[in-house]
Structure 1
Amino acid sequence: MSNPYLRVKTFVFLTLFLSSIAFYAQSNNAIYYGQNETRSFIVKKINKTIVPDGVLDEPIWETANSANNFWEYFPLDSIQARQQTDIKMLYDDKNLYIGITVYALGKDYAIQSLKRDYRAGNSDNISLLFDTFSDGTNAFLFGINPYGVRREGLISGGGQDSRNFTTTWDVKWKGDSKVYNSWYTSEMVIPLTSFKFKEGETKWKFNSYRFDSQSNETSTWINIPQNQRVFGLGFMGDMVFEKPLGKSRTPLALIPYVNGSALQDFEEGDNTNKLSVGGDAKVSIGNSMNLDITVNPDFSQVEVDDQVTNLTRFEISLPEKRQFFIDNNDLFGSFGDSRDANPFFSRRIGIAQDTADNTIENRIIGGVRLSGKLTKDFRLGFLNIQTAADEENEIPSNNNMMLALQQKVFARSNIGLFFINRQSFKDYDFVLPEDKYNRVLGLDYNLISQDNVWSGKFFFQKSFQPESNGKDLATGARLEYNSRNYKASGKLVYVGEDFRSDLGFVRRTDILKSFVQLERVFWPSNSFIQNHSFQFFPIFIWSPSMDFKNTDNEFRGQWEARLKDQSRFSAEFSNIYTFLIDDFDPTDTEGAIPLPGNQGYHYNSVKAEFNSDSRKIFSYSVEPSIGRFFNGDRFSFQGGMTFRFQPKVFLSMFMRYDKIKLPDPYPSADIWLISPKIEVTFSKSIFWSTLIQYSNQRDNFGINSRLQWRFAPLSDLFLVYNDNYFVDGFAPKTRSINLKITYWLNI
C-alpha cells in the first residue's frame, strides 16, 4: 500500500467513524443518573436591596424558593447528602441575590487561606454554576467559603476536564459568611452585568457543588455520577426567573495602572529605572458581547511561572495567567489538538526569543479583543494585538490577529472556523523572507453528547507562509467514551513538516500520531478503596517524510486506586522506543557529547505515586521512578508537601531529582529542581507570597516576592521583588523591584 493512500484511507475511516458516533450520541436524550426529570426552582423578583453581611436575617429571604435536597457525590453517588445545603435566590433589575445555609458536623473547617480564588478541592466551600445560555458548554462560577472568602471562574468545553476550568477571570461582586455551631450561612450579591445572557431570558441552567471536610463528603444539587467531573455541565437543573430579564447595561470599566520599576542587570552591567503608564478598558456590547481594549499593558504583577525540568527534545507549554487574555479564552484557544497542533496559544504574544535564544518580554503596544455571543447559538471572537520592535535583539514589530466563529449544533456540540495572521509590516534586515508572515485557516467539529458519555473532535488546518513546499496541513480526530465502569479514547493526528502556526503551540511537525487508551474501573463495596482501575495506553508516531518510519512507541500500563480518605496510589510500567533523528543531549550539559542521531533506543521504566489526603493540615505526595533511559539509566524522585497554619499561612514545597547515568563518552548528570513557597494572608485584602526556585538545569536560583493590597474591589497596589542568581558560584544575574497600582473605575 502506498503511503499517501495509507494516510487518506486512515483519515477517511476515522472521520466517518467519528461522524456516525456523533449522530448516534446526539440522537439520544440525556439520562441523568439517579433522577428522571430536570429539577427546578423559582427565582422571585424583588424591589428591595440586600446587604451581603452573611447573616440571613432579612425577612424577604423567607419568601424565596430553595434549591435543596443535595445529593452525595463522594464517597457515594446514589444517596442524599448527609450534610445538607439550602440555596435561595432573589433578583431585581441590577443584582442576583443568593442566600446559602450550609450544614456541617461542627466548626472545624479546612481553610487554605484568606486569599481570593482559592483552590476548592482541599478545603470547605461551596460553588455555584450558572449556564446562562443553557448550552451545556460554558458557565460562570461563583464560590464562597465559611470565612467569606470568594472566588469566581469560567468553565468551558462542557467542563470535560481540568483544562476547561480557570479562576484567573475576575469580576466585581460582593459576599460574606457567618459561622454558627453546626452550620454557616453566606450571602452573595452578584451584579447581573457580571453575567452574559440573552435579553428577555426566563431560565438559566444551574448547579452547585460543595466540599465538606469534616464529614469527608462532596455533594451536588443535581445528582452526578462519580465518573463525571463535579463541575461538568451535562448535569444541570433550571433556575426560572419570575419575570423576564431585561437589557443588561454594563458600565464602561477603565482600569489604568502606573508602574515604577528598577532593574539591575549584572551580566550587562546595566541599571534601568522606568515609569510606565497604561491600562485596559472593558466595554459591554449588548448583553452578550465584550470588547476589551489594552494600551501599553504591563504584567509585572502576574504570578511567576513554575520552573520545570525538561528531559525531552520538545518545548513545554505553560498556562496563561494574564487577565487580558482570559475572558472567553476557549473561543480562541480550544481549536485543534491541545498537545500536538494548537493553532493559537496566547502566551506567544508578548514573549519572544533574543539572539541567544533566551525567552524575553516583547512589549505589547496595544490591542483589542471582541468576544461573546451574537445569538444564543453563535459565538464570535476577534483579537488584534500589535507588539513593539526590539531591533537590538532582532525582534520585529508584529501584528497578531485572530478571527474565530463558533456555531452550536445538536444539543451541546459545535462547529468552529478560525483565521490567524501574524505579520511584520516593515522590512527588517534580520527577518528571513520565510518569516515575514504566517497565516493559518482551520475548521473544528467538537462533539459533546447530552449526557457527557461521548466527546470528541475533528479538526483540519492549513498554514500559509512564504516558501512552503505544500506539506503545510494539520488534521486529526479524537473520540472518547466515559461510562461508570469503562473508559476508552482514541486519537489520530497528522502534522505536516511545513505546517506552522507562529501564534500556536505545535510541539513537533512531520508526524502521524495515534493512541488508544482503555480503562476498566472497579467500585468495591465495604472497602477502604473508593475505586480502582487498570489502564492500557499505547502511543505510536510515524514520520511521513521518512517513508512513514516508526520514530516513537510507548506502551504504558497503570493501576490506580482512590481511597475513601481521598488519598490516591498508582503504579505504572512503560516500554518506550525513541528514534533520534538528530543528536540529542537529555542532560543539556554545556559542551557535552550528545547521543547520536539516526539511531533507535529502547528503554523501560517503572513508577509509583502516592498522594495523601489534601484536606489535612499536613499533606504530601511522593513519586519515585527507575529504569533505563536511552542507552543509560535513570532514577527520578519528585514530591511535594503542604502545611497550613489556618487560615493565614500556607506553606508548600515541590522537589524533583533526576539522576541520569549514560555510558562514556556521553554525559551523566544530577538534576535538581527545588521550589518552596510561603503564602501569608494578613486579611481578605492584604496578601504576601514568596516563591523560591532552584534549578541547576536552567542554571538559575530565583526569588519572587509579591505583596498585594486590594484597597478597593479589583483595585490593587503591588510591590514585587525579583532576584535571580547563577547556580555555579551563586553570582547574581538580575534584580528588580516593581511598585504598581491598578484601579478599576466604572463609568
Structure 2
Amino acid sequence: MKNILVFITFLFVIHSFSQTTNKSVFVNFIENPIVLDANLNENEWKDSKGASGFWQYFPSDSTQAKQQASIKFLFDDKNLYIGAKVNAPDNKFITPSLRRDFRAGGSDNITFLFDTFNDGTNAFIFGTNPYGVKREMLLSGGGSELRGFTMAWDTKWQCKTEIKDDHYIIEMIIPLSAFKYREGETKWRFNSYHFDTQYNERNTWVNIPQNQFIFNLAYMGEMIFEKPLGKSKSPISIIPYVNAITAKDFENKTSITDLKFGGDAKFTIGNSMNLDITLNPDFSQVEVDQQITNLTRFEVSLPERRLFFIENSDLFADFGNNRDSNPFFSRRIGIAKDANDNTIENDIIAGVRLSGKVNNNLRVGLLTMQTAEDIENEIPTVNSAVITLQQKLFSRSNISFMIINKEATKEYDFLAEEDTYNRIIGMDYRLASEDNSWVGKYFIHKSFSPGIKNKDYSAGFSTQYFNRNFSARINGVYVGENYQSDLGFLRRTDIFKISPQIERTFWPNESKIQKHSFSITPIFIWKPELNFKNSDYAIISRWRANFINTAELTAEMKNRFTYLFSEFDPTGTDGAIPLPANKGYAYTNFNLSYRSDQRKNFSYRIEPSVGTFFNGKKYSLTTNLAWRIQPYFSGSMQINYDKVILPNPFPNASIWLIGPKIDITFNKSLFWSTFIQYSSQQENFGINTKLQWRFAPLSDLFIVYNDNYYSNNFAPRFKSLNLKLTYWLNI
C-alpha cells in the first residue's frame, strides 16, 4: 500500500508541472450557408474575428512567424466553415503531386487540428495546400509519437483555394458529422500549423517548443462556439464494392477467376460512437506492401490499411509494447496457417465494430469477426472478438482495459486442443503530463490457452522526460515463456528487456546547423527461464544534426551481442550451413546517414554502413532517390545493398533490394502509379501498376496488374489482373 501511495503521489507531482494557454478564437453561428469560392467576401467572414499571431516552430521557436496566417471560423447546424489567408513571399509554391493525403514535409501547406473532446489525447486533422489538394487524418496518443497518425482515414468534405501573388486563400466546408463530439459542447481545443518552403518556416498558432512534435496535443488554444453544438445529423454511409479478378499461380499450377460482391456500412450512434459493419469483405490490397531486407531472426510488422479497422484503431491496437508484446494486431485477421504451415488468405464472413466516446472521459471499443472454415487446408471457422475500455485520468492520461478472444466455433478432427482458443485480459496506463514533459506507459496482460497454467504474463513500463536540452527514458518489458497472443504481434517469448536512453541537445546560434544532439541507448535482453542468461544486447551511440535547410546528418556506432539458441543463417541462402547454436557473437558496425533538402526537385537519402556481423563482416548501402516535376510527376528509387562475408564453411551473400516507383497525377481525380520491386533475398521480381479514377467523392475505380517472377531465372511466378469498384454513398 505504501508503494501504491508513493506512485500516486509521483503522478500528481508530474501533473503539477504544466503549461497553459489562453489563446482562443470565436466561432460565429450563421443562418445561411457559405458559397465555396475561396473569396471570403461574404459579410459573415468580414464580421468574424480570426485566429492570428503564429509563432515559428522551425528554425526557431521563440519568435513570431515572418509569414503569418489568419484563420476564421463559422458554423451552422450542418457544417464547420474555415476561411484562411496564408502569406508567402511570392507564389512559387511547392507541391509534390495532386494526390490526396500528402505528407507535410517539403511542401507548402496548412493543417488544422481539432480536439473535439478536449482530452489532449485524440484529434481530427484536416489540411490542404495552395493547389487545394486535401488531406485528413486521425491522431491518437496525444501527438507524442509519429505512429499516432492514421492517414488511411477518409471522410467527405469540400475545399477550394486561390493563389495570389504573395499569399493563398483557402475555404473549407467540413460537415459536423465528420467529427465526433458531445452534443451541447461550447468549445473545442484547436491548433494549426503551416509550412512555408520559401522562407523555410514551420509555424504554429500556439507556440510549441521544438523538443515536442509540431502536432503535439498538449499545446492548443480554444475554439469558442457562439452557441452550443447541436446533435449532428450524421449520414449512414454504405460502401459497396465489386471486385473482378483473374490470376494464375505458376508455382501451384492453378488459375483463379473470381467475382466478389460485398461492402461496408458506417453508422454514427449519437454524436460520438461509430458502428462499422462489413459483409463478405474484400480485404485484398490494391496497394502492395513494400518489401524489405530482413537479416534478423524475427517476423516484421507491416501497417494496417483496411477501411474497417481504421477509425478509433488506437482503442484496439495501442495496448502493450508495439515492438515486443502487442496483444492485438489486426492484420492477423483474414490470414491463417494451412496444413503445411504456410500463411494463406482466410475469407472473412462478416464483422461488426462499435467504437468511440461514451462521454468526454470514457471510450469503448467492441469488435467481432467471423472467418470461414477451409477444410481442405485444415483451417477452422474462428470468431475473433475484442472488448476495450479507456478512461481519461488527470488532464491527458488514461487507463485502459481489454479482453481479446480468438476461438474456433466448431469442432474438427484436425484441430488440436491447444489451438481451440486463446484469450488475453489486460490493463494499460498511459501517462501524459499537461505540457507533455513527462510521458509513460505501464501495462500487464495475461493470456489463457488450453493446458497453460503459468508463465503466461506480459508486462512493461516506460517513463520519459523531455526538456529543451535534455531527455531521458527508462523502459522495460517482460514476456513469459508461455504467454500467447494469436491475434497479436510477438517477436519472441521468455524475455526480460530494458532499454534506457539519455540524450543531450544543443542549439547553436548563427550556424548552418539548427540543432544537434548526442544520445546513447543501451538495450539488454535476458532469458528468465535460462537463469536470466543474456541473449542479446545493443549499445547505440548516436550523433544527429539538423540543418537550417532541413537536411539531416546522422552518425552512429552499434555494439551488438547475439546468443544463438538455435542454428541460424543470416543470409537466408538455400542449402547453406547455418551458424551453430549455443554460441554468442559480439560485433560492431558504424553507420552514416545523410538526407538532403526535401524542398528540392531532386532529393536523396544515403546510408552507408560497415562493420562486423556475427563471426564475419557486413557492408551495406541504402539509397533513396526522389525526383518530381510538380505537380504531375514524381519518381523514386530505393536501392538496398548488403554484402555479408562469413568465414568458411558458412555462406557469403550479396543481397539486393531495388524498388523504383513512378507516380503520375493527371489531376485530382485520376492517378497512375507503377511500383517495381526486385528482392534477391526473396528471389522475387514484381511489378504492380495501378490506375485509379476517383469518379465521385471517396469512390474509386481501380485497375491493378500484378506480375511476379523468380529473380534467379525470370520464370513466371504469379500474375493477376484486378478490377475493383467501390462507391461511397451517404444516405
Relative to the length of structure 1, the TM-score reads 0.96
Instruction: Please tell me whether residue 247 in structure 1 is matched to residue 236 in structure 2.
Output: no
Is the alpha carbon distance of 1:692 and 1:21 closer, same or farther for their aligned partners in structure 2, counting shifts above 3 Å? Answer: farther
The alpha carbon displacement at 1:301 in A equals 4.7
Q: What one-letter code is carried by the residue in structure 1 that aligns with 2:207?
A: N
1:461-494 CA-partner distances (Å, limit 9, x unpaired)? 0000012141100001100111100011111111
- What residue in structure 2 maps to residue 7 of structure 1? none
Residues 59 and 548 in structure 2, CA contact (< 8 A), matched pair in contact too:
yes
2:417 and 2:725 mapped to 1: Cα distance? 42
1:208 corresponds, among 192, 200, 211, to 192
Q: Which residue does the alignment assign to 1:657? A: 641
Mapped to 2, the partners of 1:112 and 1:406 lie a distance apart of 39
Query: Would the alpha carbon gap of residues 695 and 677 (structure 1) be closer, same or farther in structure 2, given more than 3 Å must change?
Result: same
Change (3 A) 1:19 1:552: farther
* Counterpart residue type for residue 441 of structure 1: I
- Counterpart position of 2:408: 424
Shift of 1:209: 0.5
2:500 corresponds to: 516
Report what 1:145 is aligned to. Answer: 129
Q: Tell me what 2:240 maps to.
A: 256
Q: How does 1:239-318 map to 2 (within 5 A)?
A: 239-318=223-302
What is aligned with 1:607? Answer: 591
Structure 1 residues 268-417: aligned runs within 5 Å: 268-417=252-401
Q: Provide the residue aligned with 1:540 in structure 2.
A: 524
Moved more, 19-28 or 646-655: 19-28
Match of 1:27 among 16, 23, 26: 16
Give the distance between the partners of 1:96 and 1:42, measured in 2 at CA: 13
Instruction: Give the Å deviation of 1:356.
Output: 4.5
Q: Which residue of 2 aligns with 1:736?
A: 720
Q: Is the 8 A contact 1:302 1:322 kept in 2?
A: no
Q: 1:205 to 1:31 in 2, by over 3 A?
A: closer
Which residue is equivalent to 1:185? 169
In structure 1, what is the Cα distance between the partners aligned to 2:6 and 2:195?
A: 40
**Which residue does 1:6 correspond to in 2?**
none
Q: 1:516 offset after TM fit, Å? A: 0.7
Residue 193 of structure 1 aligns to a residue whose secondary structure is: helix
**Identical columns (%):** 56
Give yes or no for the alignment of 1:467 onto 2:451: yes
**1:589 correspondence with 2:573:** yes
Q: In the alignment, which residue of structure 2 is the partner of 1:238?
A: 222
Q: Distance in 2 between matches of 1:447 and 1:439?
A: 26
Cα contact 2:325–2:491 (8 A) shared by 1: yes
Residue aligned with 1:163, SS: helix
- State the partner residue of 1:5: none
**Hey, what does 1:79 align to over in structure 2?**
63
What is the distance in 1 between the residues matched to 2:562 and 2:3? 26
1:699 positional shift? 1.2
Deviations along 1:65-113, one digit per CA (max 9) or x if unpaired, are: 2011111110011111000101011000000000010110111111110
Distance 1:294 1:176, change over 3 A: same
Q: Distance in 1 between matches of 2:686 and 2:345?
A: 17
Look up the match of 2:138. Answer: 154
* Cα distance between partner residues in 1 of 2:415 and 2:298: 24
Q: CA deviation at 1:389?
A: 1.9
Q: Distance in 1 between matches of 2:31 and 2:603?
A: 48
Alpha-carbon separation, structure 2, partners of 1:713 and 1:317:
31
Partner of 2:74: 90
Structure 1 segments unaligned to the other structure (5+ residues): 1-11, 33-37
Amino acid paired to 2:284: S
SS where residue 604 of structure 1 aligns?
strand
CA distance in 1, matches of 2:377, 2:579: 31
Structure 1 residue 26 displacement after superposition? 1.6
Distance in 2 of aligned mates of 1:357 and 1:672: 27
Superposed displacement of residue 57, structure 1: 2.6
Structure 1: which amino acid aligns with 2:399? Answer: I
- Give how far 1:683 is off: 0.6
AA at the equivalent of 1:105: P
Decide which of 550, 564, 567 is 1:566's aligned counterpart.
Answer: 550
CA distance in 2 between partners of 1:291 and 1:21 (Å): 39
CA distance in 1, matches of 2:464, 2:61: 23
Return the letter of the residue paired with 1:738: N
> In the alignment, residue 62 of structure 1 is paired with which amino acid?
K
**Cα displacement (A) at 1:431:** 2.4
2:699 maps to which residue?
715
Matched residue type, 1:433:
E
1:31-89 deviation digits (Å, cap 9, x = unpaired) = 56xxxxx2001100001112323222323210112011111110011111000101011
Kindly state the Cα deviation for residue 675 of structure 1 after the two structures are TM-superposed.
Answer: 0.7
Residue by residue over 1:394-441, the C-alpha shift from the partner in whole angstroms, topping out at 9 and shown as x without a partner, is 322211100000000000000100000001122233322111110000
Check the 8 A contact 2:286/2:704 in 1, yes or no.
no
Q: For 1:623, which of 600, 607, 610 is the aligned residue?
A: 607
Q: Distance in 2 between matches of 1:27 and 1:716?
A: 50
Aligned to 1:3: none
Q: Is the 8 A contact 2:120 2:218 kept in 1?
A: yes
Q: 1:15 to 1:740 in 2, by over 3 A?
A: farther
| 268-277 or 210-219, larger mean C-alpha shift | 268-277
Does the CA-based 8 Å contact 2:399-2:428 persist in structure 1? Answer: yes
The equivalent residue for 1:674 is 658
Separation (CA, whole Å) in 1 of partners of 2:231 and 2:363: 19
- Residue 381 of structure 2 aligns to which amino acid in structure 1? S
Map 1:48-127 onto structure 2 (within 5 A): 48-127=32-111
SS in 2 for 1:26: helix
Counterpart of 2:480?
496
SS at match of 2:500: strand
Distance in 2 (CA, whole Å) between partners of 1:618 and 1:15 is 56
1:379 Cα deviation from its structure 2 partner = 0.4
CA contact (8 A) 1:300 1:738 kept: no
Q: How far did residue 360 of structure 1 move?
A: 2.6
Q: Indicate the SS of the match to 2:379.
A: coil
User: Does the Cα contact within 8 Å between 1:314 and 1:507 map onto a contact in 2?
Assistant: yes
Aligned-pair CA distance for 1:302: 3.6
Contact 1:18 1:479 in 2 (8 A): no
The residue aligned with 2:514 is: 530
Name the counterpart of 1:4: none
Q: TM-score, normalised by structure 2?
A: 0.98
Alpha-carbon offset, residue 252 of structure 1:
1.1
Paired with 1:698 and 1:13, the residues of 2 have a C-alpha distance of: 56
Question: What code does the residue aligned with 1:669 have?
Answer: A
| Code of the aligned partner of 1:26 | H
8 Å CA contact 1:487, 1:520 repeated in 2: yes
* 1:577-615 CA-partner distances (Å, limit 9, x unpaired): 111111111111111111111111111111100000111
Q: Amino acid of the residue matched to residue 12 of structure 2?
A: F
What is the one-letter code of the residue matched to 2:528?
P
* C-alpha deviation, 1:15, in angstroms: 8.4
1:366–1:46: structure 2 CA closer, same or farther, 3 Å change rule? same
Give the aligned partner of residue 174 of structure 1.
158
